[in-house]
Amino acid sequence: MNQPSITPYDLPSRAFHWLTAIVVTIAFILGPEHFGQMMHRGIDPASQSDIVWHESLGLLVLLLTLLRLLWVALRPAAPQIPMSISMHRMALLMRVALWTLLLALPITALLALGRDAHPLTLLGGVRINEMPMIANLAIAKLVDWGDVHKFLGDAIMVLAGLHAAAALFHHLVLKDGVLSTMLPGKKFR
């Protein structure tokens, strides 16, 4: 059976989607294990390239997500793909969960750094040694935000994997054109 003809997502939406997916994956891979323990032992995060890259990519995720949210508010309507109500609901639930994690991950990282008085170290030698505005927030002291950040990082990778598996299921089994709406190229089926 041929895939139905479906209008693809616009180019900026596709670019934001794939760029975010790549940046999140690389940030996850570079996420330093036992970051807090390293800092408590006096290791300067600026001396650890994985930390510098991870933190820089984390802020890039936040920027991309905010720009993407702005674009979602301004862009043409998203493609309407015929599928069951339950599939539409699952897709909406997955999108909400992924968007929430894309915003929560950088925020929990900043809360962890601010609470524990660890510096934010970025590419280009940018360094913010203290974040008293964050450290003084009541929410900063509620939990170990580093643990929350690690949990959410694992969660986003699991959900992204499920998201990719669902896209492949739609493409290979249902053959309904869902995956093609987000793929690059000019010809869509």
- Report all structural domains of the chain as residue ranges with CATH numbers, in order of start: 11-181 (1.20.950)
- In tens, the pLDDT along 39-92 reads 778 788 888 899 999 999 999 999 999 999 999 999 988 888 888 999 999 999
**What is the C-alpha separation between 134 and 138, in angstroms, rounded?**
9
- The residues near 90 (Cβ < 8 Å, ≥ 6 apart) are 166
Biggest CA-to-CA distance, the chain: 61
Q: What is the pTM of this model?
A: 0.89
- Look up residue 54 and give its two tokens: 């991870």
For residues 164, 166, 171, 172, the Cα torsion angle rounded to the nearest 10 degrees is 100
